[in-house]
Amino acid sequence: MTDITDDIAEEISFQGFEDDCRLLGNLLNDVLQRELGPEFMEKLERTRVLAQSACNMRMAGIEDTAELLEKQLAAELSKMTLEEALSLARAFSHYLNLTGIAETHHRVTKARGSTNLSKSCDDVLNQLVQGGISPADLYDTVCKQEVEIVLTAHPTQINRRTLQYKHIKIAHLLEYNDRPDLGHEDREMLIEDLVRELASIWQTDELRRHKPTPVDEARAGLNIVEQSLWRAVPHYLRRLSNALKKHTGKPLPLTCTPIKFGSWMGGDRDGNPNVTAKVTRDVSLLSRWMAVDLYLREVDNLRFELSMNQCSAKLSRLAREILEKVKTLDDWHETRSQQSSLGQFKNYSNHAPPLPTQLPAGADMPSCAEHNDMKTHYPRLDVPGTEFMPMNRQQGRQDSLIFKESSLDTSKLSIKTHGNGNANNSGNGQSVVTPRGTSSTSSQLLLQRRQFAESQIGRTSFQKLLEPSSSQIPGIAPYRVVLGDVKEKLSKSRRRLELLLEDLPCEYDSWDYYETSEQLLEPLLLCYDSLQCSGSGILADGRLADLIRRVATFGMVLMKLDLRQESGRHSETLDAITKYLDMGAYSEWDEDKKLEFLTRELKGKRPLVPPTIEVTPDVKELLDTFRVAAELGNDSLGAYVISMASNASDVLAVELLQKDARLAVAGELGRPCPGGTLRVVPLFETVKDLRQAGSVIRKLLSIDWYHDHIVKNHNGHQEVMVGYSDSGKDAGRFTAAWELYKAQEDVTAACNEYGIKITLFHGRGGSIGRGGGPTHLAIQSQPPGSVMGTLRSTEQGEMVQAKFGLPQMAVRQLEIYTTAVLLATIRPPQPPKEEKWRKLMDEISKISSTTYRNTVYENPEFLAYFHEATPQAELGCLNIGSRPTRRKVSTGIGHLRAIPWIFAWTQTRLILPAWLGVGAGLKGICEKGHTEDLRAMYKEWPFFQSTIDLIEMVLGKADIPIAKHYDEVLVSESRQELGAELRRELLTAEEFVLLITGHEKLSENNRSLRKLIESRLPYLNPINMLQVEILKRLRRDDDNNKLRDALLITINGIAAGMRNTG
């Protein structure tokens, strides 16, 4: 049934799956019985039975009876009140969501219980070694592999995040229910927990009432890291390391990570005016904050675990240096504190005595303790007066511990801590204070506030109870000293980011915080080496190794943020600049003149944009974006993607704007910009642009400046992105697939000609109409040589939650990415065996594209039919994304984004964009006598096989009777023949796909998929019929908000049943 779980090809246990579906269904029925009453439940059950009976008749081939039952069902639904229809839609939507949860749970269970899991690291490495690949070559290839999964905010996730979390809780309860040792009482409590979750879900509004902001979307992406990927990555890397050691004799190097993560959330501004330069900056800082916060938690746990004293001499020296530095700072602050106290006494001796700055000696001690100020191990509690503000932020230093080496005299062991509840033996914990009002500027006041927040006084007293006192610690381990210093710097790093996010003054010294992952890795690797050489390798390879691997994978940003903008916006900006400089209109120049100008400016050393330039808000926003990119650099940002790229000048324009911004920022800072320049990545989307992609890359690499720039600044790597969504909407799925294949071949050849390595970035969507489908199948069907150990790919919308929402699923997906790229690198897919096959593909593509475009773009009735037959106009009310549904204000198909285009057809179950034109193309070639050629292509050419298999999968999900019902009720009579023609096209596609594959029925090679489809129909079909009825009513009463809510509920339900949206 699903596009999203087919990566895991194993059969699920249908007995267990059906048992869980029955359990969840019965519990939901109990909740609905209490909430809605028995009368409604009778109607619900009657609806389900009618739908189930109709499905059974249709599967048995008794079409007439099935049609009668469906008409009876539609008639009964049309008589329902709005409240009944709304409740029924909600109930069936929840049934479908619960079925999806049970399905995912059983796929995970099956994967976990399998000893020889297909496509796992162990399985694929074993295959390659058995196939003659030397262990040394295999090890080297794995270690050099670079795969980046880029999470995007494309608006296809239909469920609110609140409901996603509740669904995850139900999945965890199902997992707990599988335990064989669960007692009767525990099982009853588990059932109660499930009922509570289901009741909570029913009483929660399914609809988003407001559009998410880009920051909301970014936060959702970061939550995926926190809830799943953070746990999954170390587990995946351990599995890969164990498999490598088993088959090559060497484990994966500790800081080697074949997979990393990127993000478009907060950086993709293509057609989304809500993504501004400030949003990009804030999201990048937020991502850094989350990374530091997660590392802090891990370091805290690690300090508790690494309690041993034995260590290497190098670690011992570092621990001593840390403690000596702390003692020096303490002595310095002690002197400053005394001087400050004396100065305050002189300044205020003639005034009324202020409130005391500290309690009397011993006031903070238990009543049973001796009040001996010199010997107490309790900290002093300093209390600020109302007119004082502390100035010494260094007194907030945490965990400053003196480490005792084994060679030191044990009688000299002591602990000196400041703030955060630690002991202060010196008795000099008094803060330096100055009177309020002495600050002459607001920035100084803000600085004072920040320092107060970090001072001992500003800390909560309860935290002092969390730290042990000196008399309770017989000795301090060196690892704890070093990790205490790491924690201290991480804490300051987090606080610094908070100040930056709040736009407050931030004057930390660079050695006080971590800026790069290398800085954080240094002490962690030192601890790891120390444990290994001290005979504690088993400890080193536990939590510490996991933390090191996380740092290597996530860095200091979790996911580097890509920026994306449409090429026309860059041209508009350069046009404004050249006109301001009286150089003419850039947009009116031909390509050669543009390249000459851009190359000349790129070779120059002066800025192009004058600081005094006056431009429109759109141009200013774009210039501000480049400025933020210069300030953040490639330590925080990934690539700059140019959508709708079509010429070499599109790339050089971005390179120039980037260079100019970096020059301006460096001039203001008085030093070079942080990090390096961003990779500039052209995105070829339309069929026309895909056909020219190779020529554009050749033109770029023929320019000396650009070639040298790629070699010098990007390690000889050219990245090129290919778009699956717009190419499919432009010419149909089959033509798009073939043009994408040829474009990748051409771009790869172009880079090889100039000695440049290629990294292809695949802009795949979730649905098959937008390039979705099983990851392993997709990568294994790429042109040979296009995947040489490197790959970038987007994961969008509902795919992110489906593939990475649970740690176990995430581990499996990461393995699939790794093994698929490994196989494509070492054993590239077969190219077409004969030139004849290419010519046949060209012919099929031509016929297919012509049929598609004649229907979608040339037929004057199609646009009106599209609006009548689908809920496209209402999709914008879902509030599932921050960006508009159209790039420009227009009612045509051309400016409609690919997601709502496919989303709308998925709702009606026609799924037109994925198959339209395919039947005509295959039929045309078969009628010319090439049926056997196509069958040979299907068997022997991975690309052709995967293309046909994906189309077959879509055809299996399409439903002609449901699509026909939409037409009969919603489409005007004059356009109903167009709908009938489209359904005939669907039957033609089905006929010739079965002819080529040799299958008797659709999805015959995936019976598990067919069974899952059939299990959903009794709930899915009634929701479709309800949607038709509600659309009919809404189009007569457009201002009825309750009707609109009911419609949106049906859209949610159908998306849950189809397991994908757009």
Q: Average pLDDT of 342-359?
A: 42
Does the CA dihedral 943-946-948-950 come out positive or negative? negative
Distance CA(518)–CA(536), nearest Å, equals 24
Say if residue 532's pLDDT is above 60: yes
Q: Higher confidence at residue 734 or residue 611?
A: 734
Instruction: Decide: 968 and 976 in contact? Cβ < 8 Å.
Output: yes
**Exposed/middle/buried for 779, CB within 10 Å: 0-12, 13-18, 19+?**
buried
Instruction: Provide the 8-state DSSP code for 382.
Output: B
Q: How confident is the model at residue 510 (pLDDT cuts 50, 70, 90)?
A: confident
Q: Is 560 a catalytic residue?
A: no
Characterize 311-348 residue by residue with b for buried, 16 or more Cβ atoms within 10 angstroms of its Cβ, and e for exposed.
Answer: bbeebbebbbebbeebeeebeebeebbeebeeebeeee
Q: What percent of the chain has pLDDT over 90?
A: 63
The whole-number average pLDDT for the span 949-956 is 92
pLDDT digits (tens, 9 = 90+) for 466-485: 554 433 344 568 999 999 99
Residue environment code for 822-849, b if the CB has 16+ CB neighbours within 10 A, otherwise e: bbbbbebbeebeeeebeebbeebbebbb
Sign of CA dihedral 508, 509, 510, 512: negative
- Work out the burial of residue 185: count CB atoms within 10 Å of its CB; fewer than 13 is exposed, 13-18 middle, 19 or more buried: exposed
Provide the β-strand partners of residue 146.
790
pLDDT at 72 over 70: yes
pLDDT range class, residue 395, cuts 50, 70, 90: very low
Query: What whole-number distance in Å separates Cα of residue 385 and Cα of residue 358?
Result: 9
- Please tell me the predicted confidence (pLDDT) of residue 334: 62
| Long-range Cβ contact pairs of 627-631 (< 8 A, separation 24 or more) | 627/277, 627/661, 627/664, 627/665, 628/277, 628/278, 628/280, 628/281, 629/280, 629/563, 629/658, 629/661, 629/678, 630/658, 630/661, 630/662, 630/664, 630/665, 630/666, 630/673, 631/281, 631/665, 631/673, 631/674
pLDDT at position 1008 over 60: yes
Q: What is d(CA 544, CA 303) in angstroms, rounded to the nearest whole number? A: 10
- Global pTM exceeds 0.85: no
pLDDT at 882: 63
Residue 447's pLDDT is: 55
> Does residue 437 carry a pLDDT above 90?
no
Between 755 and 1014, name the one with better pLDDT: 755
Instruction: Identify the band that residue 256 occupies on the pLDDT scale cut at 50, 70 and 90.
Output: very high
Backbone angles phi, psi at 209, to 5 degrees: -90, -10
Q: What's the one-letter identity of residue 429?
A: G
Q: Are 379 and 457 in contact (CB under 8 A)?
A: no
Higher pLDDT among residues 348 and 635, named by residue: 635
Tokens 């356009």, located at residue: 975
Average pLDDT over residues 688-707: 97
Catalytic residue among 404, 594, 729, 776: 729
Average pLDDT for residues 38-55, to the nearest whole number? 95
Residue 979 has pLDDT above 90, yes or no: yes
Helix (H) or strand (E) holding 725: helix 725-731
Q: H-type helices in 79-213, by residue range?
A: 82-113, 121-130, 135-144, 161-177, 184-202
Judged against a pLDDT cut of 80, whether residue 416 lies above it is answered with: no
pLDDT tens by residue, 14-31:
888 899 999 999 999 999
Query: Quick one: pLDDT at residue 481?
Result: 93
| Residue 154 designated active-site | yes
Residue 670 pLDDT greater than 90, yes or no:
no
Give the separation between CA 688 and CA 700, rounded to whole angstroms.
18
Q: What is the enclosing helix (H) or strand (E) of 946?
A: helix 942-957
The pLDDT-based confidence of 754 (bands split at 50, 70, 90) is: very high
From residue 926, give the alpha-carbon distance in Å to each of 109, 679, 835, 944: 44, 46, 18, 15
Of residues 612 and 450, more confidently modeled? 612
Q: What secondary structure does DSSP assign to 494-546, as a single string?
A: HHHHHHHHTT------GGGS--SHHHHHHHHHHHHHHHHHTT-HHHIIIIIHH
Per the model's pLDDT, the better-predicted residue between 335 and 202 turns out to be: 202
Average pLDDT over residues 166-181: 91
Indicate whether 78 pLDDT > 90. yes
CA pair distance 572, 192, nearest whole angstrom: 61
CA distance 374 to 400: 19
The C-alpha atoms of residue 1049 and residue 412 are separated, in whole angstroms, by 71
| pLDDT tens digits for range 480-504 | 999 999 999 999 999 999 999 998 8
What is the structure's pLDDT at 889? 53
Per-residue pLDDT tens digits for 852-896: 999 999 999 999 999 999 998 877 676 665 656 555 555 678 767
- pLDDT at residue 178 greater than cutoff 80: yes
- The whole-number pLDDT of residue 156 equals 52
Q: Do residues 954 and 914 make contact, with C-beta atoms less than 8 angstroms apart?
A: yes
Check residue 505 and give left, alpha or beta (phi > 0: left; psi -120 to 50: alpha).
beta
Helices (H) and strands (E) in the chain, counts: 38, 10
pLDDT, greater one: 877 or 457: 877
Report d(CA 1057, CA 97) in Å as an integer.
Answer: 7
Residues 959, 964, 965, 966, Cα dihedral to 10°: 100
Confidence of residue 372 (pLDDT cuts 50, 70, 90): very low
Q: Outline where DSSP puts E strands in 251-373.
A: 259-263
**How much is the pLDDT for 477?**
84
Q: What is the pLDDT of residue 118?
A: 81
pLDDT band at 421 (very low <50, low <70, confident <90, very high): very low
Catalytic residue among 94, 154, 714, 930: 154
Q: What is the largest CA-CA distance in the chain?
A: 110
User: Does 347 score more than 70 pLDDT?
Assistant: no
Q: What single letter denotes the amino acid at residue 988?
A: T
Q: Mean pLDDT, the chain, as a whole number?
A: 84
- Count the neighbouring beta carbons within 10 Å of the beta carbon of residue 538: 9
What DSSP element (H or E) covers 563? strand 560-566
Q: Tell me the sheet residues that pair with 388.
A: 435
pLDDT digits (tens, 9 = 90+) for 102-124: 988 888 877 666 667 788 999 99
Q: Take residue 404 and report the two structure tokens written for it.
A: 């005792």
Between 445-459, 672-686, 906-920, the lowest mean confidence (pLDDT) is in: 445-459
Supply the pLDDT for residue 331.
66
In this prediction, what percent of the chain has a pLDDT beyond 70? 82
Q: How many CB atoms lie within 10 A of CB 509?
A: 7
Give the model's pLDDT for residue 880: 62
Phi, psi of 755 (to 5 degrees): 70, 30
Q: Is the pLDDT of residue 158 over 70?
A: no
| pLDDT, average across residues 78-84 | 93
Q: Which long-range contacts (CB under 8 A, 24 or more apart) does 192-198 make?
A: 194/23, 194/24, 194/27, 194/170, 195/27, 195/30, 195/31, 197/166, 197/169, 197/170, 197/173, 198/24, 198/27, 198/28, 198/31, 198/94, 198/170
What are the residue ranges of helices labelled H in 604-671? 617-632, 648-669
pLDDT tens digits, one per residue of 205-223: 888 778 888 998 899 899 9
Please give the pLDDT value at position 796: 84
Residue 925's CB is within 10 A of a number of other CB atoms, namely 19
Q: 711-729: per-residue pLDDT in tens?
A: 999 999 999 999 888 888 8
| Phi, psi for residue 792 in degrees, rounded to 5 | -125, 145
Residue 446 has pLDDT above 90, yes or no: no
Which residue would you say has higher pLDDT here, 344 or 315?
315
Model pLDDT, residue 505: 85
- The residues that bridge with 260 in the sheet, in sequence order, are 148
